[in-house]
C-alpha cells in the first residue's frame, strides 16, 4: 500500500478546520514539499453544507506544489462517496477525508481511483 506523509502541525490544523466547519464540510488543497504535505490552501469562495462543499475552481492559483486535496465528512463515514470519486478524478494526487469526530483515527487517504493510502504523521 502506498504511503503519504503529512506534517503533524498541518494535520492538527486540518482537524481544527473540520471541527470549526461542523456540521458543514470544508475543503482545501494540500501543498507538498520534499514528499511531505506541509500546507493547505482553503478552497476559494466555498459554499458548504452538511453533505457537500462547492467552490469556484477557476479561482484556484496555478501551483505545482499542490499534490492533493482534503475535505471533511460531518458523519463518521470516512469513505469516499460517488461525488468524492468524481472530484478526485479531476484533481489527481492524494485525497484526505476527515470524518467526524475529527480525530487522527478518523482520517483516511485515497488515490484518485478510491484505493486506500496509508498516512504517516511526521514531526
What is the tens place of the pLDDT at every residue in 51-79? 555 566 655 667 788 899 999 999 999 99
What was the pLDDT predicted at 62?
75
Name the nearest CA neighbour of 20 among 52, 57, 48, 61. 48
Per-residue confidence (pLDDT) for residue 73, from 0 to 100: 94
Q: How far apart are CA 52 and CA 84, in angstroms?
A: 9
Distance of CA 70 to the CA centre of its chain: 1
pLDDT tens by residue, 93-121: 999 999 999 999 999 999 999 999 999 99
pLDDT higher than 50, residue 22: yes
Query: What average pLDDT does the chain have?
Result: 88
pLDDT at 52: 54
21 — pLDDT class (breaks 50, 70, 90) = very high
More confident residue, 107 or 44: 107
Joined grid coordinates for residue 39: 500546507
**114: which residues sit within 8 A by CB, 6+ positions away?**
80, 85, 88
Report whether 42 contacts 55 (CB < 8 A): no
Q: Which of 112, 62, 119 is nearest to 87 (CA)?
A: 112
Torsion angles phi and psi, residue 56, rounded to 5 = -85, 100
User: Please, are residues 25 and 73 in contact by the beta-carbon 8 Å criterion?
Assistant: yes
Find out whether 87 and 111 touch, Cβ atoms under 8 Å: no
Cβ atoms of 41 and 31 closer than 8 Å: yes
What pLDDT, on the 0 to 100 scale, is given for residue 49?
42
Give the range with max mean pLDDT: 29-38, 43-52, 61-70, 85-94: 29-38
At 56 the pLDDT is 63
Amino acid at each position: 500500500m502506498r504511503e503519504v506523509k503529512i506534517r503533524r502541525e498541518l494535520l492538527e490544523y486540518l482537524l481544527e478546520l473540520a471541527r470549526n466547519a461542523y456540521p458543514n464540510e470544508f475543503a482545501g488543497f494540500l501543498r507538498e514539499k520534499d514528499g511531505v504535505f506541509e500546507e493547505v490552501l482553503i478552497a476559494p469562495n466555498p459554499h458548504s453544507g452538511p453533505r457537500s462543499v462547492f467552490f469556484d475552481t477557476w479561482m484556484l492559483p496555478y501551483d505545482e506544489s499542490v499534490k492533493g486535496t482534503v475535505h471533511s465528512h460531518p458523519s463518521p463515514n470516512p469513505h469516499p462517496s460517488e461525488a468524492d470519486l468524481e472530484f478526485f478524478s479531476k484533481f489527481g494526487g492524494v485525497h484526505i477525508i476527515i470524518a467526524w469526530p475529527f480525530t487522527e483515527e478518523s482520517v483516511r487517504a485515497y488515490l484518485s481511483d478510491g484505493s486506500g493510502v496509508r498516512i504517516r504523521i511526521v514531526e
